[in-house]
Amino acid sequence: MSEPKERKGFRAALAHKDFRLLLASLTTSGIGDWFYNIALVVYILEETSSPGWVAAAGIGRLAPYILLGSLGGVVADRFDRRKVMVTADVARAALMLALAGVVASGAPVAFAIGIAFLSTAAGTPFFPAVAAVTPSVVDEKSLAAANALITTVDSLAIALGPALGGLLLTVTASPVVAFIVNATTFGISALLLGRVSLPRVKEEERPEVVPLHHQLAEGVRAITSSTSIMLLIALLLLATFACGLEIVLYPLVSKNLLGTGAEGVGFLFAALGVGGVAAAGLANRAVAYPRPALILTAGSLMSATPFAFLPLTTSPAAAYVLVAIQGGGLILIDVLATTLMQRAVRESVMARVFGILDSIEVLATVLGAAIAPLLIESFGLKVSLLVAGGILVALTLLCVPKLFVIDRGTDRRRLELEPKVQLMSRLGIFEGMPRQSLEALAASASEEAVSGGDVLIREGDDADDFFVIRSGAMEVLSSGEAGAKQTKVRDLGAGDYAGEIGLIERIPRTATVRATLDSLVFRIGGREFVDAVSRVPSVSSALSGGIAGRLARTHPSYRPNLREKGTEVES
């Protein structure tokens, strides 16, 4: 156990086997995706010589996220997430082979766009599932590093995929091979994901089947109930709006400004990925920075850099540097926003939240792709780039005041929560829990007064909440396994806790806790408590030891179903 604790940053995340498999899957299919993306754009542009058709291909490829992205999140929350991801990969592999056949046969480009639409539709549950399982395959301290690695893989795929795709197109002069390569990478990804061990959820523990619109509404409420989450999503939407613009603008920049031909767009996107890889370490550390507003603002402004300066150069090298700066900004926004959202959103609705995010992100991308041809037709390429950059900067600056208000609110919140955090940090079961998790527990804790003689927990009742005693004194009484007259088991005082056994074991209360003096307690919801402790292995181990010791006094023949990290735990 001591060795993993000493690991820092990326090494800590990579110490988890299941995360390594997940990351390898994303790397493999991600590179293949960019082979496909570049090949599709070049194929459409060469067949039609029309920015409008390029925009149509981009919109057709992305539209399923708008139409079905939220449904994909529901699917990822409802079914086994590993099977969901494997099925999505297998379906997309088959569709890529179909696309290769359509292009090889010389069919109209509309057929290719139709298959691209179906491929995206098949993949809509995939990324919500990835976002939801990531906190389950790493511990809490490694979550930011895991997100940074996932985003780095995306950037690496952008760096290698377009460059290799462009080289492949140059050598073969046909996109068919690129589509076959992408099908192969989906197959490899499915094999890797098949080896991932994820938390098992028994059928009786799965969420009750409710109407689709109710499930979607729950995801929407998880977003709209938090100003911080809505603002993080707004910045992600700005970044994806920029991506939509570049889908149409960058091929024309490569062909008309840089003189590198339509195939040269692959190197522009490769530069985007290189910038993301270069900024990955900074993005990982940025999550711990106490002033996220500054980093998010800087990342958003960096994403506008190429639009503002590409009209001023015809040098491919200078263009690649500008686009690399954009890549660095995008990874800062993505890692910071994703990690903060994963920490704030309940696990049970997380895939729905990210499914909804996928839908509106792609809507922003499609909006950018739809606006770009109109800008070009009205102003020409160079002015269109400047206008696009101006839009991004203006929208970012509109968000800045709200961002800094949230920063100041975060400072006030930390001061208010400090007494609760200090008390909880001294509890043995929370040793090793990151500050962010302690703050989340403290925020969910309500202070209650318990008069001397009142019962806080009654033996035999359903387990609902967890309690930390702030002041006063209480006694623990139990009938034991035989159901005899209650006897005193132990005394509790300030800094002690109660209620964890029923929550973790999913059994009725095993003892009564009664105040012997007027007392103050912090009440923490059972779901919040279980979600927090199950994400940190050291906390789970300490908790398991405490449960075993307490049950040995009252129910010696009971064998605790102690749940280690990586096992589904619900209140």
Q: What is the mean pLDDT of the chain?
A: 79
- Residue 270 in this model has a pLDDT that exceeds 60: yes
- Do 382 and 442 belong to one domain? no
Q: Which of 80, 36, 379, 315 is CA-nearest to residue 182?
A: 36
Structural domain contains residue 8: no
- Residue 564 in this model has a pLDDT that exceeds 50: no
Structural domain contains residue 223: yes
**Per-residue confidence (pLDDT) for residue 548, from 0 to 100:** 54
- Do 156 and 219 belong to one domain? yes
Phi, psi of 446 (to 5 degrees): -110, 140
**Per-residue confidence (pLDDT) for residue 192, from 0 to 100:** 92
Alpha helix stretches (DSSP H) within 426-499: 435-444
CATH number for position 536: 2.60.120.10
pLDDT band at 567 (very low <50, low <70, confident <90, very high): very low
Structural domain contains residue 237: yes
Structural domain contains residue 307: yes
| Interatomic CA distance for residues 339 and 341, integer angstroms | 5
pTM of the model: 0.62
Please count the other Cβ atoms lying within 10 Å of the Cβ belonging to residue 289: 11
- Residue 199 in this model has a pLDDT that exceeds 60: no
| Interatomic CA distance for residues 128 and 54, integer angstroms | 27
- Residue 147 in this model has a pLDDT that exceeds 90: no
- Residue 570 in this model has a pLDDT that exceeds 70: no
- Do 82 and 154 belong to one domain? yes
Amino acid present at 333: I
Torsion of CA 428, 434, 437, 442, to 10 degrees: 60
**Per-residue confidence (pLDDT) for residue 163, from 0 to 100:** 67
Cα separation of the two ends of the chain: 27
- Residue 487 in this model has a pLDDT that exceeds 80: yes
**411 vs 200: which has the higher pLDDT:** 411
Q: Which of 501, 426, 424, 506 is CA-nearest to residue 457?
A: 501
- Residue 140 in this model has a pLDDT that exceeds 70: no
**441 vs 316: which has the higher pLDDT:** 316
Structural domain contains residue 382: yes
- Do 391 and 455 belong to one domain? no
3-class secondary structure, 512: strand
- Do 407 and 533 belong to one domain? no
- Do 487 and 366 belong to one domain? no
Final residue belonging to a domain, choices 364, 386, 414: 414
| Interatomic CA distance for residues 112 and 54, integer angstroms | 12
Structural domain contains residue 563: no
In order of 93, 153, 164, 477, 532, the CA distances from 172 in angstroms are 21, 26, 12, 78, 53
**Per-residue confidence (pLDDT) for residue 168, from 0 to 100:** 72
Phi, psi of 91 (to 5 degrees): -65, -40
Q: Please compute the mean of the pLDDT values over residues 223-240 and round it to a whole number.
A: 84
- Which range of 77-81, 345-349, 433-437 scores highest in mean pLDDT? It is 77-81
Over residues 354-408, the pLDDT tens digits come to: 888 878 887 888 888 888 888 888 888 899 899 888 888 898 888 888 888 777 7
Q: Which of 15, 53, 16, 121 is CA-nearest to residue 362?
A: 121
**Per-residue confidence (pLDDT) for residue 267, from 0 to 100:** 80
- Do 321 and 438 belong to one domain? no
Q: Please compute the mean of the pLDDT values over residues 335-361 and round it to a whole number.
A: 77
- Do 247 and 165 belong to one domain? yes
In this structure, are residues 571 and 527 in contact, taking their beta carbons and an 8 Å threshold?
A: yes
- Residue 557 in this model has a pLDDT that exceeds 60: no
**Per-residue confidence (pLDDT) for residue 534, from 0 to 100:** 66
- Number of domains the chain is built from: 2
Final residue belonging to a domain, choices 414, 441, 464: 414
DSSP 8-state symbol, 211: -
- Residue 2 in this model has a pLDDT that exceeds 50: no
Final residue belonging to a domain, choices 414, 440, 474: 414
- Do 379 and 454 belong to one domain? no
Over residues 524-550, the pLDDT tens digits come to: 888 778 777 766 555 555 555 556 556
Q: Please compute the mean of the pLDDT values over residues 406-418 and round it to a whole number.
A: 73
In this structure, are residues 268 and 74 in contact, taking their beta carbons and an 8 Å threshold?
A: no
**Per-residue confidence (pLDDT) for residue 107, from 0 to 100:** 83
Structural domain contains residue 568: no
- Residue 516 in this model has a pLDDT that exceeds 90: yes
CATH number for position 402: 1.20.1250.20
Over residues 58-114, the pLDDT tens digits come to: 778 777 877 877 787 778 877 888 888 999 999 999 999 999 888 888 888 889 888
In this structure, are residues 152 and 277 in contact, taking their beta carbons and an 8 Å threshold?
A: yes
Over residues 488-510, the pLDDT tens digits come to: 888 999 888 888 888 877 788 88
- Do 391 and 474 belong to one domain? no
Amino acid present at 153: V
- Residue 213 in this model has a pLDDT that exceeds 60: yes
Strand partners, 473: 493
**410 vs 420: which has the higher pLDDT:** 420
| Interatomic CA distance for residues 399 and 489, integer angstroms | 56
For residue 394, give its domain range. Answer: 16-195+211-414
**Per-residue confidence (pLDDT) for residue 80, from 0 to 100:** 82
- Residue 449 in this model has a pLDDT that exceeds 90: yes
Q: Please compute the mean of the pLDDT values over residues 506-523 and round it to a whole number.
A: 90
Structural domain contains residue 298: yes
Q: What proportion of the chain, given as a percentage, has pLDDT over 90?
A: 10
- Do 361 and 431 belong to one domain? no
Over residues 26-36, the pLDDT tens digits come to: 888 877 777 78
166-175, 185-194, 416-425, 524-533, range with the lowest pLDDT: 166-175
- Residue 203 in this model has a pLDDT that exceeds 60: no
Q: Please compute the mean of the pLDDT values over residues 474-481 and round it to a whole number.
A: 86
